[in-house]
Amino acid sequence: MKAQRHELSPLSVIWLLVERDLRTLVKSPWILINRTVFFVIQLFVFAVLVNKLVASTIPGFNYFDFYSVGAVVSTITSIAFIIGADLFEEEEMGLLDYLLSLPFGHSLFVFGRALGGAVRGLIYTAPMMLLVAFIDGYWSPAGILGSYVVLFVLATGISGLSITLAMVIRSENRFDVVIAMAELATVRVSAAIYPLYYIPQALQPIAAYSPVTSASDLIRWAILGNASGVGNLVILVLFVAIFFGLGSAFLFKRLEGGRFE
């Protein structure tokens, strides 16, 4: 009799990849502590002080409420970028070669790692989102759950972007510089921290179509009742699809070119 070959289902593969990324959450608690302390300082020091300045010049505009949502979105964006650095670390340790030798497609690998980065980021920021909802006086479980979905979708796309950059850039030092610039650009050239109409006019078209802006606007619509549109959701979904596709394509190209040999 021929021995039956046992192959994992796609869902099992994705779960194993996500589980691997979740284990780093336990192994690196200092990242959670660092991000949490930074978030609290930004929210209760920076936002409070700026809100007092803004109140005297723009009556009726509550910058603290505006910033509180943007701070959560900015935090999960920063955390999602870490997945690319994980790939370089795994390559140095030889783990990446092993993972890529397992019997599943490169697209499934990218998708699983992007989901792992998103789940990890959501766990980091879930308490922050609850704190913001409490401060802003929002009590709807459905709205908070919807905000988590938006954060998760954004983090999946950002993780895909980080993986794509890790596949394109061969030098780890160069990657660190590029990823820092990418993080700075995605957060600062958006309406997460500043209202769109106060961003320099030349950057407003870019900021208007930023996935970080879309995520911030959708959550402000849920939490604060601000205006939003279906276009924001479309931008988020397209962002995830584009960088999932690019990450898969560049990973395949590197494997074909012997990148990880």
In a domain, 39, yes or no: yes
Asked whether the beta carbons of 116 and 21 are under 8 A apart, the reply is yes
Q: Provide the domain count of the chain.
A: 1
In a domain, 1, yes or no: no
In a domain, 60, yes or no: yes
Q: Show the CA angle centred on residue 214, arms to residues 211 and 219, nearest 5°.
A: 130
For residue 119, give every residue at least 6 positions away whose Cβ sits within 8 Å of its Cβ, in sequence order, or none: 18, 21, 22, 152
Alpha helices per DSSP H over 170-229: 172-188, 204-208, 211-223
In a domain, 225, yes or no: yes
What pLDDT sits at residue 259? Answer: 45
What pLDDT sits at residue 243? Answer: 80
In a domain, 114, yes or no: yes
In a domain, 77, yes or no: yes
Asked whether the beta carbons of 141 and 150 are under 8 A apart, the reply is no
What pLDDT sits at residue 4? Answer: 45
Per-residue confidence in pLDDT tens, the chain, 261 aa: 444 445 667 777 777 778 877 777 666 667 777 878 889 999 999 999 999 888 888 888 899 999 999 999 999 998 888 888 887 777 777 666 666 666 666 677 788 888 888 998 898 899 999 999 998 888 888 889 999 999 999 999 998 888 888 878 877 788 889 888 999 899 999 999 999 988 999 999 999 999 999 999 999 998 888 877 778 889 998 998 888 777 767 666 665 555 444
In a domain, 37, yes or no: yes
Nearest C-alpha neighbor of 220 from the set 30, 114, 71 = 71
For residue 22, give every residue at least 6 positions away whose Cβ sits within 8 Å of its Cβ, in sequence order, or none: 116, 119, 120, 123
Element (H, E) at 32: helix 29-41
Domain holding 208, by residue range, is 10-256
Instruction: State the Cα–Cα distance between residues 75 and 81, nearest whole angstrom.
Output: 10
In a domain, 5, yes or no: no
- Other beta carbons less than 10 A from residue 100's beta carbon: 17
